[in-house]
Amino acid sequence: MKKIDLSAENKKLQSKVSTLEELLKEYEETAIEQSKYLEERNKELEQSKDQLALLANITTTSPDAILLTNKEGCIVLANTQVEKLLGYTREELLGKKIEMLIPERFRDSHIQQRLDYYANPSVRLMGINLEIFSLHKDGREIPVEISLSTLETKEGKVVLSLIRNITERKRLEGVVLQSEKMAAVGQLAGGVAHEINNPLGVILGFAQGVVKRIQPGDNFEMPLKSIEREALRCKTLVQDLLTFSRAGKMEKEETDLNQTIESSLSLILAQAKTKNTELIKDLAPDLSQILVNKNQIQQVLINLCNNAMDAMPSGGKIFVRTKKSKLNDENAIELQVEDTGQGIPKEFQSKIFEPFFTTKEVGKGTGLGLSLVYEIIQKHEGQIKVESEINKGTLFKIYLPMKGL
């Protein structure tokens, strides 16, 4: 029988136990390290969740449109206000270049500006007097203000853009500017008209007196009739100036707008027939009375109809309509005057309400008609808008509020 060396076996066994103890210790240390790592990662994850929740809350509740773009200029986040402002869904925007929201004429320069900003970022606040436009899905350009800043993420730096629609603000600024301009011109017009009126009356009176006495064919017949004609034109201009300067002085009364329109159109019916122009009425029968100055509203309608006839030298149609409408979310009556004339060039449409601006030939217009219309509508706390297309016609929309009754 073979004798077994127990001491040698014990040594081997002790060696294996020691090895196992070392491995177990390493496993314990590794487990502790992994536990610490997982604990740190969980904390980071919780912080990330909190940050994401905060960001989601900000983007959801913000009144402004919010976009996040990466280094390549691709959109990585868009809130619901972006959808409302620009017409795109978030799915249509995510992953797309930010330049799709920039009008085409600005795109090339915007790419370089974007790269420059990413390389040297700085906080840019709203209201820095830059004319910026964003492109709606339907092709409209929307005036906006943009605030820029950067955020650091694990994926790298992203640019945060806060976008605010300033369409209504620009409209109100235009109204204020136009009102100030009207007030200044009205004050000047009144003073000039009174100074001119008396000497003009003397010139016209003597000219007409001599014209009546001169014999046909006399050498002075043509010069004197020219003086009479131009003096009469100046008299018309003076009357327009006086009317313009007094536009703010008025008394309002409850008025049936349809009746005012009927009486106004009866005054120009004969003139319309001689100019081969058809007057077509479409007046809503159930309109409430409104508080207006009847004479001034009549003046507005006659002025617009006269302009329409001037725009149709070969004749045409004038449509006069009334209907219920809204003005700043309040009940209003809408008055439309539409013609089938030559139309107003797009570049002139923003200027037609300015005093002394006219597209008519020299001697055929004073440029005060539409500015007087504008001033009257403003004094009634209303609005006037124009839509026009060359060789198709022009449509004026007037909104008169129904409050105050």
Residues 292 and 389 in one domain: yes
The answer to whether residues 402 and 255 touch, using CB atoms and an 8 Å cutoff, is no
Give per-residue pLDDT as tens, 44-76: 545 544 554 445 555 566 788 888 899 899 998
Q: What is the total count of domains within the chain?
A: 3
Q: Which of 18-27, 191-200, 275-284, 354-363 has the lowest mean pLDDT?
A: 354-363
Residue 328 has pLDDT above 80, yes or no: yes
Quote the pLDDT of residue 87. 92
Of 303, 317, 236, 222, nearest in space to 268 by CA: 303
The band of 258, judged by pLDDT with boundaries at 50, 70 and 90, is very high
Residues 275 and 397 in one domain: yes
Residues 259 and 208 in one domain: no
Q: Has residue 141 been placed in a domain?
A: yes
The band of 194, judged by pLDDT with boundaries at 50, 70 and 90, is low
Of 340, 356, 352, nearest in space to 385 by CA: 352
Q: Has residue 264 been placed in a domain?
A: yes
Residues 151 and 223 in one domain: no
CATH of the domain at 354: 3.30.565.10
Quote the pLDDT of residue 52. 47
Classify 369 as helix, strand or coil.
Answer: helix
Domain boundary among 102, 131, 165: 165
CATH of the domain at 209: 1.10.287.130
Q: Tell me, what DSSP letter sits at residue 367?
A: S
Residues 380 and 276 in one domain: yes
The band of 400, judged by pLDDT with boundaries at 50, 70 and 90, is very high
Q: What's the distance, CA 319 to chain centroid?
A: 27
Q: pTM, whole model, 2 decimals? A: 0.50
Q: Has residue 322 been placed in a domain?
A: yes
Residues 260 and 397 in one domain: yes
Residues 305 and 396 in one domain: yes
241-244 contacts: CB < 8 A, separation 24 or more?
241/189, 241/190, 241/192, 241/193, 241/368, 242/189, 242/190, 242/193, 242/194, 242/197, 243/299, 243/372, 244/185, 244/186, 244/189, 244/355, 244/368, 244/371, 244/372, 244/375
Residues 196 and 208 in one domain: yes
| 401 beta partners | 332
Q: Tell me, what DSSP letter sits at residue 63?
A: S
Q: Has residue 4 been placed in a domain?
A: no
Residues 262 and 379 in one domain: yes
Q: Has residue 19 been placed in a domain?
A: no
Beta-carbon contacts of 7 under 8 Å, excluding residues fewer than 6 positions away, are none
Quote the pLDDT of residue 45. 47
Q: Has residue 31 been placed in a domain?
A: no
Residues 331 and 350 in one domain: yes
Residue 42 has pLDDT above 90, yes or no: no
Domain boundary among 165, 187, 221: 165
Residue 103 has pLDDT above 80, yes or no: yes
CATH of the domain at 149: 3.30.450.20
Residues 264 and 400 in one domain: yes
Give per-residue pLDDT as tens, 269-279: 888 998 999 99
Structural domain containing residue 149? 62-165
Q: What's the distance, CA 39 to chain centroid?
A: 54
Domain boundary among 146, 165, 184: 165
Residues 284 and 397 in one domain: yes
The answer to whether residues 157 and 66 touch, using CB atoms and an 8 Å cutoff, is no
Cα separation, 338 vs 308, in Å, equals: 8
Give per-residue pLDDT as tens, 352-397: 887 766 665 544 555 567 888 888 898 888 999 999 999 999 999 9
